[in-house]
Structure 1
Amino acid sequence: MPINSNLRSARITLDMSQNKLAEAVGVSKQTIVAIERGDYSPSIKLSKTICKVLGKSLDELFGEENGNEV
């Protein structure tokens, strides 16, 4: 699974730490780290929650056109 640089970039653009994102979506910091590294595929529910917090669409953060697997 490729590294999710779109998620990391969106998070950093909002000046949000991995810990703050984790708190906002109700998961551990380790979960966010694993998603960004490409070691973990989040559920659709978690993906949508992350997108809502970051103000991005599913395609922008997790879509195939961005080099990510869906």
Structure 2
Amino acid sequence: RLTVRYHRQLNAYQEDGEPVQLDYLESIVIDRAQQDLIYRKHLSDDCEMEHRYHIADAIDALLDVLQTP
């Protein structure tokens, strides 16, 4: 299982000029046991997305290529 996480915090402004702090999270999980690739995006506590791809045999091949000798 391989997990890559990205986290970014930034200050932005709403249309009315009020400042708002954004806490943006993304992750990709490549799971050999389940043969899944999972992409998650967290924009706020009220907005999360997840895309799950089940790709039999291709996950093994991808992780084998990424493996260091």
Greater RCO, CA 8 A, separation 6+: 1
Kindly indicate which of the two structures has a greater share of residues assigned to helix.
1
- TM-score, normalization: structure 2? 0.26
- TM-score, normalization: structure 1? 0.26
